[in-house]
Chain A
Amino acid sequence: MKKMLLATTLLALSGGIAAAQTVRLGTEGAYPPFNFIDDAGNVAGYEREFGDEACKRAGLTCEWVTNDWDSIIPNLQSGNYDVIIAGMSITDERAKVVDFSENYFPPADSAYVGLTAEADIKGVVSAQVGTIQAGYVAESGATLLEFPTPDETVAAVRNGEAAAVFADKDFLAPYVKESNGELTFVGEPVSLGGGVGLAFRQSDDELREKFNAAIQAMKADGTVNKLIEKHFGPETKKF
């Protein structure tokens, strides 16, 4: 019996080799409306729909896996998954360690959110660790308070730990809208980064080209704009 179990396990582990290569998409699953775990326990959001469509057009079988944000690049490099699709902005700094696809979300605004419109954005400002927003806050002269998940950065403002949170405007907008006036945008939005792109290992050019072709096609026929409007509302920037 034991041997049988072992044999089945080995077979299952090695069985897939002959079949078509599955592409594993790594996401954070905590960044609505880009990506989040819905109440059925599946990855959902804009990137879920976008990614599934892109995989279909590229003729690939894709599988979704979640990974903490702060280790999302190291785990791509060690091969736990093949693509990062996690609302990751294209920056020069990241481009040194991973290769980006074309952006599938236009360069968007980042914004401050606080309890009042006069919140001190040069005081303590929370941001998610390892994001372009965290880098911006650190350079702005404010005291940066970092958290591992996006949700905690907003919670820090609610419980008074931080005067304001700095994050993607599209991520913050639903929180502000649904807070019944508790939260409000502070100051002017700031444009950061070169849009959101898929990240690949630098040795994976072939896979990147497949996705680039799919993204271009989806931009050309308006699919991307339609999906953005569906998940982010009509006011969001589009291509």
Chain B
Amino acid sequence: MFSFCADPKSLEGFSWLVCYLTSAKHVDFYWSFLTVLVLLAVTAPSALAFGFGGAMAARSPIAPLRWFGKTYTAMVRGVPDIVFFLFFVIALDQGIEWMKHQVVCPDWKEPIRQGLEFRVCPEAKVPSGSSAQIWHQLYGFALAVFTFAIVFGAFAANVLYGAMNAVPRAQLETAESYGMSQGQVFRRILVPQMWTYALPGLSNLWMILIKATPLLFLLGVKDIVYWARELGSAKTQAYAYPHPDWRLWYFIVLLIVYLCMTRGSEIILSRLTRRLSHGQATAAGEAMRRAAQ
């Protein structure tokens, strides 16, 4: 990065450290923080959408839809995250390729499963074998986001389902007596009021989601945990910057980063809770009303 870093072996002290911390590998490490933030930014709304859909399905008057909603939450909530991550990503990946295979190579004679091997025709590989590495990485990341969204969507569905049921029945009946249709009651009364009940559960989920991001590493995405381990491990003279085992320092940095992220979220979420409790017929809303008197 800097011109004086051209010959790392001749450097010492501070300049060595500067060059070390700005090596291309460290820049990859810094970018991987962005990977985690992007994952959070994409996963949180999609999980919320999955959750909203799941909760609506679970409340639906149509029986099959209701069963679907309940099965989704029960099944995903009942399986350990890691098992689900490891299984689902492989299953999804092979499922996509299998379907593409059926469409693209209808004349393919050989069996797809040959013992332990999963072999679709080359045209059906997703992404195609000859596409650049970046597409493989993006595809892996997309699979990870989808899996995260499904897992956390199931938890969110349960929270939102509970929150929808917690809205006082009298509010909904009043709306009905004004002549609102079921859809109007849902949109105008139920949804705006449920957030105050959902927020404690959702903020909990958000914290768990932040702490679950290192699972990316399990899915083969090079996240901050991967780079911390890779950079921290002892380096011999084969590397430009040899050093002993420094994993402890790298993991301390991760610890601090995660603590900052969760602490920042706590502050923002508590502000949001205050705002949503305003004027609500809940304990928090009541306390605010009394304090204002």
Contact = CB atoms under 8 A, between A and B. Distances in A.
Contacts, number: 115
Interface in B59-103: 90, 93-94, 97
A40 B236 contact: no
B129 A158 contact: no
A77 B116 contact: yes
A19 B123 CA distance: 12
Interface stretch (B20-28, B162-170, B260-268, B284-292): B20-28
Interface string A40-79: 1100110000000000000001010101100000100111
B45 interface: no
Contacts of A19: 130
A202 interface: yes
Contact of B119 (A37, A61, A79): A79
B133 interface: yes
Interface in A20-53: 20-22, 24, 29-30, 32-33, 36-41, 44-45
Interface string B112-134: 00111111101101111111110
Interface in A164-204: 174-175, 178, 201-203
A30 B229 CA distance: 11
Contact of B118 (A14, A79, A158): A79
Given A79-B120, A82-B129, A149 B240 contact: no
B234 interface: yes
A155 B123 contact: no
B240 A30 contact: no
A33 B238 contact: yes
B28 A41 contact: yes
B200 interface: no
A14 B242 CA distance: 42
B80 to A, nearest CB: 19
A178 B24 contact: no
A154 interface: yes
A36 B239 contact: yes
B135 A13 contact: yes
Contacts of A231: 238
A37 B230 contact: yes
B131 A175 contact: no
Interface residues of B, number: 45
B116 A32 contact: no
A227 to B, nearest CB: 14
A182 to B, nearest CB: 10
B214 to A, nearest CB: 15
B240 to A, nearest CB: 4
B29 to A, nearest CB: 9
A6 interface: no
A218 to B, nearest CB: 22
A201 to B, nearest CB: 6
Contact of A39 (B25, B97, B128, B229): B25
A17 interface: yes
B25 A40 contact: yes
B176 interface: no
Nearest to B114: A203
B258 to A, nearest CB: 22
A175 B90 contact: no
B150 to A, nearest CB: 21
A61 B230 CA distance: 27
A151 interface: yes
Contacts of A61: 130
Interface in B237-262: 237-242, 245, 247
Contacts of A36: 238-239
Interface of A: 12-17, 19-22, 24, 29-30, 32-33, 36-41, 44-45, 61, 63, 65, 67-68, 74, 77-80, 82, 97, 149, 151-152, 154-155, 158, 174-175, 178, 201-203, 231
19 contacts: A13-B128, A15-B131, A16-B132, A17-B130, A19-B130, A29-B230, A30-B233, A32-B239, A36-B239, A38-B240, A39-B25, A40-B24, A44-B238, A65-B136, A79-B119, A149-B229, A151-B245, A154-B234, A201-B117
Given A39-B241, A79-B125, A152-B233, 8 more contacts: A13-B127, A33-B236, A38-B239, A44-B238, A79-B119, A79-B120, A149-B229, A149-B233
